[in-house]
Structure 1
Amino acid sequence: MSDMLLEENAGTIEVQHELDTCGLFCPEPVMLLHNKIRDMASGEVVRVLATDPSTKRDIPKFCNFLEHQLLQHQETDAVYSYWIRKKKVELA
């Protein structure tokens, strides 16, 4: 997949992965996100698309609990978009 960019106030966010969960309902979007993030490298960004309103609550809680960074959230025409950076792992 080619890299995607999101314009942001502080610059651009480079997106390496996309996860489309449109049409799925709780808990499926978060379960798929968990699987996707597990397969990503530390520091990579995934853009998640969802139509389930419960993701407005569930995805921020998921990020907070697992210490991933929710970079941005957007809602357009009942589609929720989330940009999430996988937690950077510090090597000792």
Structure 2
Amino acid sequence: MNEQPSQEVIMNVDVELDACGFPCPIPLLKTRLEVNRMDAGQILKVISNDAGTKRDFRTFVSQSAHELVREEEERGVYCFWLRIGTA
């Protein structure tokens, strides 16, 4: 019997931030505060239900040393996995 490998990527998350219910730009501000408490290489998962967060996160990552390693959207909920870079 051959089993197909799971398509789900398993990633260790060091910190999870639930920013649901907060309008733009609060999810990004909360993310920046959390990032400042974390060490390089750690993974931060951010959950938001504000559509503007997609644009904000892409801009934030492009202007920082952090890496957006994964992004998902399901039913108006946005999840982002950031690998913390060195400042």
Counterpart of 1:26?
Answer: 24
How many residues are treated as equivalent by the alignment?
80
Identity in percent? 32
Bigger Rg over Cα? 2
Name the TM-score, length of structure 2 as normaliser: 0.86
What is the CA distance between 1:14 and its match in structure 2? 1.2
Following superposition, the deviation at residue 26 of structure 1 comes to 1.1
Q: Which residue of 1 aligns with 2:46?
A: 48
The answer for unaligned runs of 5 or more in structure 1 is: 1-6
Match of 2:81 among 73, 83, 87: 83
Q: Normalization by structure 1: what TM-score?
A: 0.81
Q: Distance in 2 between matches of 1:62 and 1:21?
A: 16
Residue identity matched to 1:60: R
Q: Comparing both chains, which one has the higher relative contact order based on Cα–Cα distances under 8 Å and sequence gaps of 6 or more?
A: 2
Measure, in 2, the Cα distance between the counterparts of 1:63 and 1:37: 12
Deviation, structure 1 residue 49:
0.2
Gaps of 5+ in 2: 1-7
4+ long deviations beyond 4 Å: none
Q: Is 1:71 matched with 2:56?
A: no
Distance 2:62 2:36 in 1: 16
Counterpart of 2:4 in structure 1 is: none
Question: Which one has a larger percent strand, Structure 1 or Structure 2?
Answer: 1
